Structure 1
Amino acid sequence: MDILRPPLININGRIYRRNIVKEEPYEEEDDFSYTGPSESKDLTEDETCDLHLIEETDKGYRCAIDVPSVLYKYIIGKKGETRRRLESDTKTSISIPKQGIEGQIVITGAQKSAVSSAVTRVEVLVESFRKKQPFTHFLSFPLNDSKVQEGFQTFKKEVLQQCSQDHGVEESIFQNPAKLHLTIGTMALLNDTEVRKAFDQLQECQSFIRDITEGKPLLLEVTGIEYMNDDPAMVDVLYAKVNVKDGSDRLQVIADRLVEHFVSVGLMLREWDRVKLHGTVMNTLFRKDSTVEDMGGAGRQTTSGREAFDARNILKVRGITLIQ
């Protein structure tokens, strides 16, 4: 890690620097330990958190934090080590629901500053390990219009007729026509509450989308196909490049505004300055794997085991010409 450029963590709009002293591999559920340094009393008292309500009670102070149950183990740590370390450093008590039960982590302490410090530390841990979770949902523009599907089926037919002898090219790596889409961004929504929050935020975005489109459909067109690596003979993803037919950047503006909004509310991580609009047409992750058995008799490859395909001849095949 570059100590001059530490990783940043966005917690409800506030940016924290994460000083990583030591990173341990987190593979088994009971192998999570807090590895940060012990903090002095002065530093603990200086930390503040104004993002949560800290209530005064008869016995001191109390704060409840909403945390998805799948992240509890990172706060507990191996044999409870992380929680004990946090409690010791901040002079607080941290109550965590049982694994699998959605609820709130409740932090109590005699001093308001101590509770505030513990809240901040728990949130930093939560956000750090949230980034390690696989994405569960994504925002997209669906491209499942009948004309799009017909054009895609024509493209698929021509590729299989002309390029089926090329390495790795076979039917199973093509996208399902009903699932054609332009990906905007991915999210890890870890419980029903976060899913509802994402839905509500998407509803809020409708107003600026209507303003940009002036309430009218955008006529799109495919301007070619591209691959996502440097060697066209060893490709994992082949995608269609899509633009607004009138030459405007309205589709790009909408995509960028959506990502900006979802990043600002903490539901998405910013990966790029601009969204790379693309419609996947072929992906080696879709490839059937005869070594994997499931209910249907077909499996999917893992990322590490995927087999690339030769796309040099495919790039010469005409693609979908118009999307409405």
Structure 2
Amino acid sequence: MQTAQSSLCVMDILRPVLININGRIYRKNPVQEECPYEEEDDYSYSGADAEQCLDEPCDAHDIEQTEKGFRCAIDVPSVLYKYIIGKKGETRKRLESDTKTSISIPKQGVEGQIVVTGAHRAAVASAVTRIEVLIDSFRRKQPFTHFLSFALNHPQVQEGFLRFREEVLEQCGQDSGVDVSIFQNPAKLHLTIGTLALLNEQEVTRANELLQQCHSVIREITQAKPLPVEVRGIEYMNDDPSMVDVLYAKVAVQDGSDKLQQIADRLVECFASAGLMERERDRVKIHGTIMNTLFRKDPSAEDKGASGRPNNKDREAFNAKKILQMFGEFYFGAFELNSVQISQRFSTDGTGYYSSVGHVTFS
């Protein structure tokens, strides 16, 4: 009789996990008898994660021939060097031993390239593939640094939000967990399209260039005009309205079209295809955070996604039942939305909104 664990192993072989690294797709195949593989908590090298990935054809990388053999240089943010070096250099030594190559890594904190050299092209290709798989694995654990956003901080919406905050505190301030500390900063009202972990200036530049490439697609959807949008109504995303961590404002195009949804979905598709963003769901959830229990301890905090109760540890939920009943259709305001930007987390520009490292306009 086949066990559930062995069934999982069979499915992993028939339908291997696909990994997107810099726009290239790798198949992640199990090689250990015990399945599934459980990743170690630290960054020591067991070999399993890299060896699960099939070696790519040699032309998958820019490998050049030299007088002494073959060479390939790959861009890796300095913050990730330690995962290739490993404790006491064990990861690098194991990679070099397995692939019969030499791996040169810049000093910690110095942005540069990891250079792989070897006597055979296939060996260099194998080493580079394994390095990229390891980097991708640990990159996913890095906190996000930027996010694609639609700014919702138009003066009319800010005014409506301040009125909402005042009325909620007046009429629901006695409800469990409700206090002024959990309300969004009105100058930072926004809609998050997707999050990005951009670990050096080179990656910031790449993300900005990609956004510029999306400009024509966005203008085609908007017909090169700003989108008149309305912020009206609130919602929550978990099962119990008496134990809520986040409340969201609903955002919609005034003509009833799904143009805003189309733009958001196309942007995520573009950035996910380039390997700069993880697609968390089929469609972007169009919402703007207005209350968040993360703000209770850190006013600059940002959720990564739109799940009902993310990062529950040490969070005090609030009772939103009365708020939803009384303010479920609250009108915050309307304005013409005319841009999408790459916003930098934990930052503030001259207007009080997040600093932007790149943007495109609809018109």
Q: Please give the TM-score of this superposition, normalised by the length of structure 1.
A: 0.88
Runs of 4+ off more than 6 Å: none
Q: Is the 8 A contact 1:285 1:303 kept in 2?
A: no
Paired residue secondary structure (1:63): strand
1:323 matched residue in structure 2: 334
Q: Is the 8 A contact 2:50 2:134 kept in 1?
A: no
Q: Is the 8 A contact 2:151 2:191 kept in 1?
A: yes
The two structures, once aligned, show a CA RMSD in angstroms of 2.1
Distance change in 2, residues 1:34/1:161 (3 Å):
same
* Structure 2 Cα separation of the partners of residues 117 and 99 of structure 1: 24
Does the alignment pair 1:9 with 2:24? no
Q: Which residue, out of 41, 44, 48, partners 1:32?
A: 44
2:61 matched residue in structure 1: 52
Cα deviation for residue 304 of structure 1 reads 0.9
1:132-147 → structure 2 map (5 Å cutoff): 132-147=141-156
Cα deviation for residue 223 of structure 1 reads 4.0
Deviations 1:146-204 (A, max 9, x none): 00100111111110000000000000100000000111000110111101111111122
Distance change in 2, residues 1:125/1:232 (3 Å):
same
* Structure 2 Cα separation of the partners of residues 166 and 19 of structure 1: 52
1:205 matched residue in structure 2: 214
Cα deviation for residue 50 of structure 1 reads 2.5
Q: Is the 8 A contact 1:158 1:317 kept in 2?
A: no
Q: Which residue, out of 101, 107, 111, partners 2:110?
A: 101
Q: Is the 8 A contact 1:226 1:240 kept in 2?
A: yes
Paired residue secondary structure (1:220): strand
What residue identity is the alignment partner of 2:27? Answer: R
Cα deviation for residue 99 of structure 1 reads 1.2
Does the alignment pair 1:181 with 2:190? yes
Q: Is the 8 A contact 2:49 2:134 kept in 1?
A: no
What residue identity is the alignment partner of 1:239? Answer: Y
* Structure 2 Cα separation of the partners of residues 38 and 66 of structure 1: 18
1:23 matched residue in structure 2: 38
Q: Which runs of 5+ in 2 are unaligned?
A: 299-310, 336-363
1:311 matched residue in structure 2: 320
Paired residue secondary structure (1:155): helix
Paired residue secondary structure (1:135): coil
1:216 matched residue in structure 2: 225
Q: Is the 8 A contact 1:11 1:123 kept in 2?
A: yes
Q: Is the 8 A contact 1:144 1:178 kept in 2?
A: yes
Cα deviation for residue 264 of structure 1 reads 1.5
Distance change in 2, residues 1:49/1:233 (3 Å):
farther
Q: Which residue, out of 158, 164, 169, partners 1:155?
A: 164
Cα deviation for residue 17 of structure 1 reads 2.8
* Structure 2 Cα separation of the partners of residues 91 and 267 of structure 1: 31
Q: Is the 8 A contact 1:23 1:35 kept in 2?
A: no
What residue identity is the alignment partner of 2:151? Answer: P
* Structure 2 Cα separation of the partners of residues 179 and 47 of structure 1: 44
How many residue pairs were aligned? 305
1:81 matched residue in structure 2: 90
What residue identity is the alignment partner of 2:205? Answer: R
Q: Please give the TM-score of this superposition, normalised by the length of structure 2.
A: 0.79
Q: Is the 8 A contact 2:231 2:333 kept in 1?
A: yes
Deviations 1:55-88 (A, max 9, x none): 1111000000000111111111121111111111
Cα deviation for residue 315 of structure 1 reads 0.6
* Structure 2 Cα separation of the partners of residues 263 and 51 of structure 1: 19
What residue identity is the alignment partner of 2:40? Answer: P
Cα deviation for residue 90 of structure 1 reads 0.9
Q: Is the 8 A contact 1:163 1:314 kept in 2?
A: yes
What residue identity is the alignment partner of 2:47? Answer: T
Paired residue secondary structure (1:313): helix
Q: Is the 8 A contact 2:234 2:248 kept in 1?
A: yes
* Structure 2 Cα separation of the partners of residues 37 and 276 of structure 1: 32
2:100 matched residue in structure 1: 91
* Structure 2 Cα separation of the partners of residues 47 and 219 of structure 1: 48
Deviations 1:66-118 (A, max 9, x none): 00111111111121111111111111001111111111000000001110111
Percent identity over the alignment? 68
Cα deviation for residue 303 of structure 1 reads 4.5
* Structure 1 Cα separation of the partners of residues 20 and 50 of structure 2: 23
Q: Is the 8 A contact 2:49 2:133 kept in 1?
A: no
Paired residue secondary structure (2:333): coil
1:113-124 → structure 2 map (5 Å cutoff): 113-124=122-133
More strand by share: 2
Cα deviation for residue 38 of structure 1 reads 9.8
